[in-house]
Amino acid sequence: MNALRRIHAALVPGGLVVDTQPVSARPPVCRDGRRLGTLDMREWIGTVDAVDALVAQTIDEGLYEIERELQLVVTDTYDNGAELVEHVSGWKGTRISHALAARVAGAAPPVTLDQDVRLRLLRATEPLGR
């Protein structure tokens, strides 16, 4: 939350902050439209929930208001399955099962990952009590 306060202090009145978060707990991994399996991002969703609580606190304090919020499906395309496995293995709060990693590694390219991503525009307001 300190980051949101520092950002607020740097913004001109009415300035915008773009907040994006992947919010899929189990995003699908596909090859040619066929689902190979899903990642396990449930731990990551706990991080998103914690961030949401901090954002809500700054809204309650009058620092920001939500200008707009929407969800998009963002598709990442990988040249091969090994690239996807290597990439997502480094993501915080994300697990890929050994079985899915083997299926993905053996799949003909391209391999895709579809994630629901939440986009919020937060508008800086004058804090309450100023």
Those residues with Cβ within 8 angstroms of residue 115's Cβ, 6 or more apart along the chain or in another chain:
22, 24, 27, 73, 74, 75, 76
Mean pLDDT of the chain: 92
Those residues with Cβ within 8 angstroms of residue 101's Cβ, 6 or more apart along the chain or in another chain:
85
Domain that holds residue 84: 2-124
DSSP H or E segment with residue 49 = helix 42-60
Residue 73 has pLDDT above 60, yes or no: yes
pLDDT (tens digit per residue) in 20-71? 999 999 999 999 989 999 999 999 999 999 999 999 999 999 999 999 999 9
Residue 98: the pLDDT is 96
**Residue 16 region by backbone torsions, left for phi larger than 0, else alpha for psi between -120 and 50, else beta:** beta
Task: Determine, yes or no, domain membership for 66.
Answer: yes
Residue 128 has pLDDT above 90, yes or no: no
Task: Determine, yes or no, domain membership for 120.
Answer: yes
Q: How many domains does the chain have?
A: 1
Task: Determine, yes or no, domain membership for 34.
Answer: yes
CB-side exposure of 6: number of CA atoms within 13 Å? 3
Task: Determine, yes or no, domain membership for 90.
Answer: yes
Task: Determine, yes or no, domain membership for 130.
Answer: no
